[in-house]
């Protein structure tokens, strides 16, 4: 079984989500290759060998500098047709979603999206996704090849199981006429300090129990002291207290940090599905009957307004800052 993984990159680093998908593909006894597309990306190939890529196909061209989907669809379509890859896998992002959908149309191939996991049985891929408002896990498949899959953000963790330097192959880029009609005139970057919630090992998360947007300032101080990131719930985002890109849950992002600390969060199923794979879950809520306590590893019944400043001071003291 041959698998191609789209390796999305940003500012000289292959994204964690792509490395997680690559690790999973390599664990399935698959001949696994990665594809890097962009300008000045050849040097990134050496990063991915230890995550399971036996080879990396690199399309390095100035015309591919802007993160536009159509030119990347051109490249991947040509690779799949030439090499006959049976599976093409993507980690979820705005760009990857556009590419996966376009590639499905180009190749007349089946696309399963929002997958949480992947396995193989008798030479066939079996995807896992959620249904019934994320209360059950169901298996999905494909009726033919190539099989295209898009994994939900944070669903798969990278694992360094590979054998070192991969074989690198250069791929030439021949754009379709319609693919060069769109031109990126400006690329804006959100101002951000610290890691994103998908990349962070520690997440400090706030819910409606914080009382208002001002409740996130102490959480930001705690996250900075711990070297983590601040996340939120849908109720918080819907109320306009915190940005959407920090939302965890069914309509937000899926995360798998080493430590998740939830402050003033009830633990609704829609939020739970986005963070339940966290290695350690700590819940702080003044309601002893909050559902989050039923699946938290550690629980503290108390007022977050009292606990957060004390915890921040303790962390700073222990770290000598």
Whether the ω angle into residue 243 lies within 30 degrees of 0, i.e. cis, is no
Residue-wise pLDDT tens digits, 28-69:
977 899 999 999 999 999 888 889 898 999 999 999 999 999
- Whether 155 has a pLDDT exceeding 90, the answer reads no
Question: What percent of the chain has pLDDT above 90?
Answer: 67
Between 98-107, 153-162, 300-309, the lowest mean confidence (pLDDT) is in 153-162
Residue-wise pLDDT tens digits, 60-95:
999 999 999 999 999 999 999 999 999 999 998 889
Structure confidence at residue 181 (pLDDT): 84
- Whether 156 has a pLDDT exceeding 80, the answer reads yes
With vertex at residue 2, the alpha carbon angle to CA 141 and CA 46, rounded to the nearest 5 degrees, is: 125
Instruction: Please state the pTM of the whole predicted model.
Output: 0.78
What does the alpha-carbon distance between residue 282 and residue 290 come to, in Å, rounded to a whole number? 13
Structure confidence at residue 312 (pLDDT): 96
Structure confidence at residue 116 (pLDDT): 87
Domains of the chain and any CATH numbers: 2-180 (3.40.50.620), 202-319 (3.40.50.1220)
Structure confidence at residue 270 (pLDDT): 86
Confidence of residue 105 (pLDDT cuts 50, 70, 90): very high
Q: For the chain, how many helices (H) and strands (E)? A: 7, 17
Structure confidence at residue 106 (pLDDT): 95
Confidence of residue 192 (pLDDT cuts 50, 70, 90): low
Please indicate whether residue 50 or residue 250 has the higher confidence score (pLDDT). 50
Strands 55-60 and 167-170: parallel
Which H or E run contains 97? helix 94-107
């Amino acid at each position: 079984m041959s698998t191609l993984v789209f390796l999305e990159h940003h500012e000289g680093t292959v994204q964690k989500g792509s490395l997680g998908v690559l690790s999973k593909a390599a664990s399935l006894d698959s001949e696994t290759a990665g594809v890097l597309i962009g300008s000045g990306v050849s040097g990134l190939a050496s990063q991915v060998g230890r995550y399971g890529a036996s080879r990396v196909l690199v399309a390095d061209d100035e015309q591919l500098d802007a993160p536009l989907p159509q030119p990347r669809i051109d490249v991947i379509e040509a690779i799949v047709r030439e090499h006959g890859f049976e599976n093409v896998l993507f980690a979820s992002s705005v760009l990857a979603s556009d590419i996966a959908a376009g590639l499905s149309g180009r190749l007349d191939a089946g696309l399963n999206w929002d997958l949480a996991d992947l396995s193989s049985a008798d030479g066939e891929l079996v995807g896992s996704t959620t249904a019934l408002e994320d209360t059950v896990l169901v298996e999905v498949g494909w009726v033919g090849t190539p099989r295209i899959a898009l994994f939900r953000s944070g669903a798969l963790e990278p694992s360094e199981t590979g054998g070192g330097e991969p074989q690198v192959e250069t791929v030439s880029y021949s754009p379709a006429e319609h693919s060069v009609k769109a031109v990126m005139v400006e690329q804006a970057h959100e101002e951000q300090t610290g890691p994103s919630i998908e990349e962070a090992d520690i997440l400090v998360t706030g819910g409606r129990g914080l009382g208002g947007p001002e409740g996130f300032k102490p959480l930001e101080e705690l996250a900075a002291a711990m070297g983590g990131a601040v996340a939120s719930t849908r109720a918080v985002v819907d109320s306009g207290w915190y940005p959407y890109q920090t939302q965890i849950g069914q309509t937000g992002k899926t995360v798998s940090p080493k430590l998740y600390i939830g402050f003033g969060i009830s633990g609704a199923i829609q939020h739970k599905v986005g963070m339940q794979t966290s290695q350690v879950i700590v819940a702080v809520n003044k309601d002893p009957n909050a559902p989050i306590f039923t699946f938290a590893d550690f629980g503290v019944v108390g007022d977050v307004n009292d606990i957060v400043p004390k915890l921040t001071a303790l962390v700073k003291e222990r770290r000598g800052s």
